[in-house]
Amino acid sequence: MKDAELKDFLDQKVVQYHNPIFIETDPIQIPHLFSKKEDIEIAGFLTAIISWGNRTMIIKNASSMMERFDNAPHDFIMNHSENDLKNLEGFVHRTFNAIDIQCFVKALQHIYTNHQGLESALSIKTDATSYKESISGFKQLFFEISHPLRTEKHISDPGKNSAAKRINMFLRWMVRSNSAGVDFGLWKSHDPKHLSCPLDVHSGNVARKLGILQRKQNDWKAVHELDTSLRAFDSNDPVKYDFALFGLGVFEQF
């Protein structure tokens, strides 16, 4: 397909998949359970962090997390006692276990107490046009507290060439407009033009078949290459095409 035809094709797929029906089978349904800004942020962040593997299991385990927080994640994060952390014992999602979630609770309390919350901690504070530096900086802030070394692997670092798929997905949820009822558009201090596609096996394979990604590895170099292609289609909201690429891969086996 020529560029104009490809853009037209992907725009049609965005319309097809960018609607509330998408929520029914997607982990984004977990933060949609809440109305308070901080609850949405924390539920979204923790859900995104465990978003790898079977989506049904992701949703089940993210729901379990929220139940352990008495369905008030921000209050739990800010006011928990050491005894409250025992409620998290036994939690596991693949390699993310009770040790990790207990550390994440303390790290999130640190982020909200000392760094003005997730919105500020992940903001772009330079003239950068992507979140590469911001995500790397966020990881440093997050692990300023005493923590098990094993837990660091659960936040990716684009500075080490990781695609940072889960953090990019979380950023999409928080930053993109809520006009379609899928993403939240909560973070008004952020700009969707800086977002990067949450690159995974599905979106990567579809992008390669469409010729908008050549690099074979799903790493930050591939994210940057895909950014360039998608921003040529829509410079203000390039990550809307995540719905098209993901939908084509998961639902249509494109």
pLDDT digits (tens, 9 = 90+) for 169-200: 999 999 999 999 999 999 999 999 999 999 99
Mean pLDDT of the region 144-157: 97
Q: What is the pLDDT of residue 79?
A: 98
Helix, coil or strand: residue 183: coil
Q: What is the pLDDT of residue 170?
A: 98
pLDDT grade for 254, boundaries at 50, 70 and 90: confident
Mean pLDDT of the region 67-75: 98
Residue 199's closest CA among 183, 213, 186? 213
- Rounded distance between C-alpha atoms, residue 118 and residue 123, angstroms: 8
The residue type at 149: L
Four-point Cα dihedral 45, 38, 24, 123, nearest 10: -50
Q: Give the number of residues written for the chain.
A: 254
Q: What is the pLDDT of residue 253?
A: 85
pLDDT grade for 3, boundaries at 50, 70 and 90: confident
On whether the pTM is more than 0.75, the answer is: yes
pLDDT digits (tens, 9 = 90+) for 16-54: 999 999 899 999 999 999 999 999 999 999 999 999 999
Look at residue 155 and tell me whether its pLDDT is greater than 90.
yes
Share of the chain above pLDDT 90, in %: 96
Per-chain mean pLDDT for the chain: 96
